Structure 1
Amino acid sequence: MEESKWIDKVLTDARQGVVVRIRANTREYEAAIDKAIAFNLISGTNYRLTEKGYKAIEVGGFDNWIQYMEQREVERRGILVNGNAVIGNNNFGVLQGQDGTLINTGNNAHIDSSIEFNRGNFEELAQKLRANHVGQQDIEELKSILESDSLNKEKGVFGDKTNGWISKMISKSLDGTWQIGVGAAGGLLVEVIKKYYGWH
């Protein structure tokens, strides 16, 4: 059984008040308890469902809850990654133009853009990502994607694989596995990839 299914079992047990740490439980069940506590789905003291835990059950389980939380955070921050744009809501936001320009789209938005490196120099791109706590495995994955992904240079649109990688990284910022705020994540990734392509 995959990890998310074990977490779903813990959530069901917590709702029934029967989550207990005993030696008879499997390692997977114990790990699922720890993960449910880490995500604040159950209490670490009495193993009862928290408000988030009830929501996870309501939306159909742990995997659906993760997607729900990601979508909610995106909507809250008003960020949409679509093609090559990062778009804000009425209060704040950045629109990445097709030529690589950054446009303030909100009343109280602030843009601080200072990413500079030479077009096609992946090592400079990698250094910028490392400086922003992107893991080496994710950097290597991006390198492979950029070498093979199709893109529309005339319209300044990234390929599907590149967009998928950006979405994955934003998800990592949402769940805390990448230590950067989600609002900064999308703008940073779009900008460094545009610089790599030479779209100023």
Structure 2
Amino acid sequence: MKTTFPLQEVIEDIINTEKSLSAALIKLNYFGRLINNEELISYTNKELNGYSPSDEVPEYRKAVGMLRINLQAGWNRHNGILPVSMLEKPYNEVFQYVRVKEGIAAIEKMRNETLQNDSGELCTSFPMEILSILQEPARKLYKSDVRMDVIGASLCTNENIVVEIPNAIRTKLLDFAMSIAKEFGYSIEIETFNKNSELNNQTINNYMSTTINNNGDGNLINTGDHNQIDNKVQINKGDLTRLQNELRNQGIEEADIEEITTIIAEEEPDFENNRLGTKANGWIAGILNKSLNGVGKISTAVSANLLASLLKTYIGMS
């Protein structure tokens, strides 16, 4: 008895937005097993069951992060934002993004809850043992006459990411399925396919590489209404006009641009440790706070790393 894989059914599952992506992923997982394609099996397993803590997630499962901290100063408690760029390596890289590792069914559940209840942010709390790495940077940013301690922290991002991830997966799977359909047909006879298994699986892997795993610079999810982040912005040292224009492109108001212009003209950064000054970091925290609270037209996707990178490049630190 010959086994035929109905690729047309997979395509119909993908384009039916009322249907869970689990159906298409399970069928593609089955297809991967029929043709002994480990790359396809691995990808569909991870999307179905979730990525392990040690797995690096695809770019479409990442979103720029915001580090929110709870501070204790004497008897008083305060909430603030700590720019990730102030942390030592590797933490400044680890906490730059929120990485969503849940399986697709859990993400679709979160998406439905998000569409019904707009809470604004998706946050993951830090375990107590991690807080020690935040103490020194927080004390440099938030100066006080009494001892300042970080007593809690969360890495947050705009909750729209759980809406955008299924859309990204659906688009990539459709592109992949249509590509292999043109190559092998909409109904694939497995015995015939496996007669040239090595060559045909290489073709499948090539299509996966170009349609599913094409994690270029433009695939990072930046949630919000004004997503104009360019990871390749070029600013020459001392080019104030270009810096100000780039800040305007991110929706930052003129008053804030004037403020940071004055700060970077007067404040001496820490060149030895490649760090901006306290006032510049405080300005970044203020901009991010405005962004997340919907003040003005600042993109909710603007990150501390982006702003710090713009300022450091202008100053000549990077």
Q: TM-score category by the smaller chain?
A: 0.3 to 0.5
Structure 1-normalised TM-score?
A: 0.47
**Bigger radius of gyration:** 2
Relative contact order (C-alpha < 8 Å, sep 6+): which is higher? Answer: 2
> TM-score of the superposition, structure 2-length normalised?
0.31
More strand by share: 2
